[in-house]
């Protein structure tokens, strides 16, 4: 009996992925909502909402994922991105800080074992915390974290130029918008 339920869940999961891959995020949402509540499902629903620009709904689903797995660093990180997009900078800062703590000293956490094609890097968290601090008017603290993240190296000249040009009025956090790479988190590798 348990195997039949698991098979049905995996079939439902695959159908949701197919809907998403076919650029039908609403269809994917309705299918995902039929699966039992797990942190992975909540993350995927949150990412779809985020992709659609429904940041409030995304925050709720990322919060659900965190309740189900309090060590899910990527849940805190993505929720921080949504707070940032909604200009709730203090909440974004808190979530980025929590994400860093949940990294538990690791420089990178790979989520492929959970079926999520995503890697969360500490330097990315530091960059986003730093840029959030800059938005909050704490330029020196923010720049310290941006430098610590390594993002102001020569190969990241775009970030360096943006921070230098906009200094304390930096209003477009680089890479926090849901990029194509962030969108693929929903698609587990298929062999």
pTM summary value? 0.79
Q: CB atoms < 10 A from the CB of 161, how many?
A: 11
Is the predicted pLDDT of residue 189 greater than 50, yes or no? no
Residue 14 in domain: no
Question: Residue 32 and residue 9: Cα distance in Å, rounded?
Answer: 10
Which residues share a beta bridge with 108? 121
pLDDT level of residue 55 (50, 70, 90 thresholds): very high
Residues 6+ apart with CB under 8 A from 111: 74, 117, 118, 119, 120, 185
How wide is the angle at C-alpha 87 spanned by C-alphas 139 and 61, nearest 5°?
Answer: 125
Per the model's pLDDT, the better-predicted residue between 38 and 176 turns out to be: 38
Name the domain count of the chain: 1
Task: Give the domain extent around 178.
Answer: 37-186
Q: What are phi and psi of 61, to 5 degrees?
A: -70, -40
Report helix angle 73-85 to 122-135, nearest 10.
30
Residue 55 falls within a domain, yes or no? yes
CATH of the domain at 67: 1.25.40.10
Q: Is residue 28 in some structural domain?
A: no
Report yes or no on 9 lying in a domain: no
- Rounded to the nearest integer, the mean pLDDT of the chain is 80
Report yes or no on 27 lying in a domain: no
Q: What is the rounded distance in angstroms from the CA atom of residue 83 to the CA atom of residue 88? A: 5
Residues 97-138 pLDDT 10s: 999 999 999 999 998 877 677 889 998 999 899 999 999 999
């Amino acid at each position: 009996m348990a195997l039949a339920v698991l098979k049905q869940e995996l079939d439902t999961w695959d159908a949701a992925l197919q809907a998403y891959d076919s650029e039908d995020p609403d269809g994917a949402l309705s299918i995902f909502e039929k699966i039992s509540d797990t942190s992975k499902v909540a993350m995927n629903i949150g990412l779809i909402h985020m992709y659609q620009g429904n940041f409030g709904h995304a925050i709720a689903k990322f919060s659900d994922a965190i309740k189900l797995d309090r060590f899910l660093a990527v849940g805190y990180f993505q929720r921080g991105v949504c707070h940032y997009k909604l200009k709730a900078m203090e909440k974004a800062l808190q979530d980025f800080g929590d994400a860093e703590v949940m990294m538990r000293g690791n420089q990178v956490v790979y989520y492929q074992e959970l079926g999520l094609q995503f890697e969360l890097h500490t330097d990315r968290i530091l960059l986003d915390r730093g840029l959030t601090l800059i938005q909050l008017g704490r330029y020196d603290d923010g720049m310290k974290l941006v430098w610590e993240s390594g993002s102001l190296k020569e190969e990241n000249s775009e970030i360096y130029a943006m921070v230098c040009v906009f200094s304390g009025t930096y209003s477009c956090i680089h890479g926090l918008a849901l990029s194509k790479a962030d969108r693929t988190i929903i698609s587990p590798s298929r062999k």
